[in-house]
Structure 1
Amino acid sequence: MAIFQKPKTSQPHPGHKIYPYLLRGLAIKRPDQVWCADITYVRMKRGFLYLVAVMDWHSRAVLSWRLSNTLDAHFCVAALEEAMNRYGVPEIFNTDQGSQFTGQDFTQALKDAGVAISMDGKGRWMDNVFIERLWRSVKWECVYLREFETGSQARQALGDWFRFYNEQRPHTAFDGRRPMDVYRDAHSASKAA
């Protein structure tokens, strides 16, 4: 365990509504059925940046991501809006109970799009296990290998890594297929049917 203080990325706000967890026992069989988002921190030479990603649960494809030097909700809403503009709208969107995701800006964007809102149970990282696994990969394969001095360096390295993850990195859950191939192939099959 590190002796330095870690940023607390999932602080609830007492005045925000908490939504029930909708994924228990749900079979996720197609893209855009469930998306999820989470925030982690990216260690810099001096301080931290915060990274949010929006992921499709079925394919594990990262649909959008953003870096910020503050933990306000704006970068989370921007990532959500980018994903919906590029890929459409999911049926369900799952997050933790952090104030960025329970706040009016984020939840209203989902409600306006007709998306069902799901939230992990308090302290239940397993409820959003695929994005937690993504953070492990991002940190071990990209962040921990470098000492970022600037946000531009971090943004470039993360952009390269997410492109590699989506388009080149084989995924064991899909017999070596890549996340974006799984996402696109499922869409093509549903349009053909």
Structure 2
Amino acid sequence: MSTTRKESISTPAPNVYSEAFKRQVVQEFESGLYTKASLQRKYGIAGNSCIPRWLKQYGKLSHPTYLSKGRPMKDKDKQYIKELEAKLKLREQELASALEKKEAELAAYKQFIAIAERELNISINKKVWHQAVQEIKAHTSLNLTELCRLFGRSKQAYYKRQSPKCRLSRENAILSKVSRIRHQLPRCGGRKLQYLINKDLESYDHRVGRDYLFALLRSRSMLVGKRKKYHKTTNSKHWMRKYPNIIKELDIVRPEQLWVADITYLESERGYRYLHLITDAYSKKIVGYELSNNMKATTTLKALSMALKGRIYDDMLIHHSDRGLQYSSAVYTELLRENGIRISMTQDSDPYENAIAERVNGILKDEFGLDQVFQNERGMNKQVSESIALYNALRPHLSINMLTPNQAHKQNTVQLKRWKTKQPLELNPTAVLNNSIFDV
């Protein structure tokens, strides 16, 4: 009798969980979608030690020991971060597995092609790569260069394989763009022309390479040749004070830190006229100018007054020029000092001591046609004002990361190229940009 009673009150056998079940619970916990308590309720798991033990045995993540006691995190943000980390880890594993599968598929396809080429004695890549690129490029995120590289080819090889009709159409489109740019920047060439052509192209695939562009322009006799002339406009043999050169080691880091001034001549059928210029050394913007039939200090003063009127910054400014009597005159230096501007001058007649000013002079003459002989002063005045406006608004510079002077003058974060080295003139957007390069 006693034996039967003992059997009736014996403890029931504990639940036995399969290995697959344990791993399933661990995976669901590490996904971050469930807590330990919710899994216990979901599957009727008795006891608080089962799930922590399974996590230790089968888990892929690191779990704090206090989880084994069943206490949830008190900090909800930390709990949320932990859940996100678990999801991310699981996603990484899924992506790694998918990538491994795709790589295996790709290897199989390559082997398939190799077998076909060997058995049929043909080169599939050589025969159909161009057609494959044409058909695939409309349905892939890869650009043309990357797509060609998959087949061991270059973008240039792709264009060479195009039909003569397609090549001619592309060449004509490029030449049309060159013509439109040169309507406003007549002698624009080299890298700047390439930059302006590519600037407005929406597709990376259609951008023009430098060597291709030069070869195309050369074949159509459209390369711009260099034309340099030097006419001395400086008279430094005078009794007035000559200031030292204080910019030799100057690091130019912002607009209106350094202005450079110079005078260049223009020629008309009635004789020479003189263009007085002031340029910002940082932005390369022409901030002041005056065109006159003389080189008097009063004329140079007008260019300075224009530059001062257009200032937009209040930081310290240096004015650098040659030792010409215009810049050494009392009336000119007095105006500089009244505006708190420090004075610097070249020490020799070497134009490289004022290289930025000389370079801007050359650009205006070489690229904007100011080196021609003008028929009258009216035509000269009009072309000078138009050329300076276009130069400031449209002409990019390598030294300021292909920004225009107007763009560079409105910021101070451009890292200038390392050589010695912007608003009185503003374009009317409607007048200048109508039919401009930005409409191409």
Same fold per superposition (TM over 0.5):
yes
2:411 matched to 1:180?
A: no
2:304 matched to 1:77?
A: no
Deviation, structure 1 residue 147:
2.9
Deviation, structure 1 residue 12:
2.0
Question: Within 5 A, what are the aligned runs for 1:96-111?
Answer: 96-111=322-337
CA contact (8 A) 2:270 2:376 kept: no
SS of 1:143 mapped into structure 2: coil
Deviations along 1:51-77, one digit per CA (max 9) or x if unpaired, are 111110011100011111011111110
CA contact (8 A) 2:255 2:280 kept: yes
Residue of structure 2 equivalent to 1:143: 370
Residue of structure 2 equivalent to 1:44: 268
Deviations along 1:27-80, one digit per CA (max 9) or x if unpaired, are 010011111110010011221000111110011100011111011111110110
Question: Within 5 A, what are the aligned runs for 1:8-23?
Answer: 8-23=232-247
Residue of structure 1 equivalent to 2:252: 28
Structure whose residues are more often helix by fraction: 2
CA contact (8 A) 2:288 2:303 kept: yes
Q: Distance in 2 between matches of 1:62 and 1:8?
A: 21
CA contact (8 A) 2:336 2:343 kept: yes
Q: Distance in 1 between matches of 2:400 and 2:248?
A: 22
Q: Distance in 2 between matches of 1:132 and 1:20?
A: 19
Q: Distance in 2 between matches of 1:40 and 1:122?
A: 18
Aligned residues: 181
Equivalent residue in structure 2 for 1:163, among 389, 395, 402: 389
Residue of structure 2 equivalent to 1:133: 359
* Counterpart residue identity of residue 47, structure 1: G
Deviation, structure 1 residue 8:
4.3
CA contact (8 A) 2:323 2:346 kept: yes
Q: Distance in 2 between matches of 1:106 and 1:62?
A: 19
Rg larger for: 2
SS of 2:411 mapped into structure 1: helix
Equivalent residue in structure 2 for 1:61, among 282, 285, 294: 285
Sequence identity percentage: 28
* Counterpart residue identity of residue 14, structure 1: H
SS of 1:20 mapped into structure 2: coil
Deviation, structure 1 residue 185:
2.3
Provide TM-score, normalisation by structure 2. Answer: 0.40
Equivalent residue in structure 2 for 1:91, among 317, 320, 323: 317
Deviations along 1:87-128, one digit per CA (max 9) or x if unpaired, are 156511000000111111111110111111000112121121
SS of 1:59 mapped into structure 2: coil
* Counterpart residue identity of residue 253, structure 2: K
RCO higher in 1 or 2 (8 Å CA, sep ≥ 6)? 1
CA contact (8 A) 2:319 2:343 kept: yes
CA contact (8 A) 2:264 2:275 kept: yes
Residue of structure 1 equivalent to 2:380: 154
Q: Which has the higher mean CA deviation after the structures are superposed, 9-18 or 82-91?
A: 82-91
* Counterpart residue identity of residue 35, structure 1: W
Q: Which runs of structure 1 show a deviation greater than 2 angstroms over 4 or more consecutive aligned residues?
A: none
